[in-house]
Amino acid sequence: MSRRSKGHDYLGWALVATALLAPLPLGGIRAFFFMFYAVVVAVMGLFYALGLYRGQVRPRLPLSAFAIPVILFGLVLVWLLVTLLPLGIAAAPEWAALSPLVDVAGRISIGPGATFDMLVRYLTYALFFVLALQVSVEKQRARTLFRLVYWGIAAHALLALASLTFFGDVLLFLPKEAYVGDATGVFVNRNSFATFAAFGAVMGTALIFGDDENDVARSRLSRILIQLGFNVAPLALIGLALAFSHSRMGMFVAALGAGVVALVAVFRSTGVRRIIAGLLIVVGLVTGAVLANTGGILFERMATIDRDADVRLAVYEQTLDLIAARPMTGFGGGTYEDAFRAVKADPIGPDVTFDAAHNLYLELAAELGIPAAIAVVLSVLLLAGTAAVAAVRRENWMIPAAAAAAVLAGAVHSLVDFSLQIPAIVLMMLLILALGFAQSRPMQQAG
């Protein structure tokens, strides 16, 4: 193994460890904890840059390989910075009382502190993704990291089940204040945990139906035992944790993502795997039909005051009013809660606050403006689209298919919730996407 290859190995392990530990605690939603992980990612980036300078590692995937997403996301970063600048734009009086952070400098953002936090998050996401790409090009390393991530998510599922049952329904070994009786793992919200677990369900399905080059040298019994122990058992654990999360939308997107992978497997796998994949799709469709007829609509139950669907629809409608007020500029990244107070009306009570729109796309448009929101979403979809094409056309389809399906699961769940605004979930999705996108490229030598 070359020195350069070992450098990428160490970086890969560090990135996997970061993605798996980022949910500790509370999904990284507290500013202090996310800033800690931002520093960790920055330090990894610094060491990688030093390795490049000294010739100890070499870049495996240049930015030019995904130029359009780089440009789109780069423009979003520039826009976040512009919204923080004192441009002398007079703030409308109705927004002046929204937040104590508003000043007379005429910044576009009504909450510079919150927007700065979002800028740091987005810079961290970008650096994390670029580093993950570099370690994901070599095929064997990518497969190893993919399995480690999968088993790590299964470990989170085991912890969630143990916290719910064995330890008496606790959150980080402390009494819960919300979602009592639901498996949440180290997340506060059951839906956030369900999205995280759904990624694992997608990966497990891909591993079960994907081809393993090492199978050729193993006996039939060994292959069966390895499948059961390393692929099927963790997937069953993840599925059980999803069921006990009681997040119906979480279970839906997990089934959707796994179903997409199974559909790819029908066309790309051979023999018994193809038959099982087809049967899985049939069983999934039948189960979905039964649930649709007996269990009501398959959408997220509302939490606390948000249980009434009319309230959720009112939030969407009033967020659209917010977008209409500043369609091009938005009110600044991370400022949704402050801005929403200006348009909040019945049936939302005066003492109720919303720090999220429960729809990622509406919230991004309200905060960043429609053009920047489109740029964020499109940058991710282009990368996922490349993985999806590779899943259909390339021989090495397993990881690209899982990456595209994981993004699909997160994107659909974001229509009715805020899972992809939880830093730990974003980092995990980006790591899976990086593995899939890198493996969508022409094969390269180890390094």
Q: b vs e for 184-206, b when ≥16 Cβ sit within 10 Å of the residue's Cβ?
A: bbbbbbbbbbbbbbbbbbbbbbb
Residues 330 and 339: their CA atoms lie apart, in Å, by 10
Q: Residue 348: what are its φ and ψ, rounded to 5°?
A: -85, 125
Question: What is the average per-residue pLDDT within 83-92?
Answer: 71
Q: Which pLDDT band holds residue 308 (cuts at 50, 70, 90)?
A: low
Q: Which pLDDT band holds residue 95 (cuts at 50, 70, 90)?
A: low
Residues 197 and 185: their CA atoms lie apart, in Å, by 10
Residues 354 and 106: their CA atoms lie apart, in Å, by 25
Q: Do 121 and 423 contact (CB within 8 A), yes or no?
A: yes
Q: Is the pLDDT of residue 280 over 90?
A: no
- Reported as a single tens digit per residue, the pLDDT across 382-391 is 999 999 999 9
Q: Which pLDDT band holds residue 102 (cuts at 50, 70, 90)?
A: low
Question: What is the average per-residue pLDDT within 88-107?
Answer: 55
Residues 262 and 231: their CA atoms lie apart, in Å, by 15
CA atoms within 13 A on the CB side of 172: 9
Output the pLDDT for position 199.
97
DSSP letter assigned to residue 342: T
Q: Which pLDDT band holds residue 276 (cuts at 50, 70, 90)?
A: confident
Q: b vs e for 36-56, b when ≥16 Cβ sit within 10 Å of the residue's Cβ?
A: ebbebbeebbebbeebeeeee
Q: Residue 329: what are its φ and ψ, rounded to 5°?
A: -105, -25
């202090």: which residue's tokens?
A: 32
Q: Is the pLDDT of residue 287 over 80?
A: no
Output the pLDDT for position 101.
44
- Nearest Cα neighbor of 136 from 62, 67, 40, 61 is 61
12 residue type, one letter = G
Output the pLDDT for position 90.
46
Q: Is the pLDDT of residue 301 over 50?
A: no
Provide the mean pLDDT of the chain: 85
Q: Do 212 and 221 contact (CB within 8 A), yes or no?
A: no
- Reported as a single tens digit per residue, the pLDDT across 368-406 is 999 999 999 999 999 999 999 999 988 889 999 999 999
Residues 439 and 342: their CA atoms lie apart, in Å, by 47
H or E stretch including 234?
Answer: helix 233-245
Looking at mean pLDDT, say which of 48-62, 69-83, 99-113, 233-247 comes out highest: 69-83
Residues 131 and 15: their CA atoms lie apart, in Å, by 8
- Nearest Cα neighbor of 417 from 332, 341, 316 is 316
H or E stretch including 433?
Answer: helix 423-438
H or E stretch including 175?
Answer: strand 174-175
Q: Do 138 and 447 contact (CB within 8 A), yes or no?
A: yes
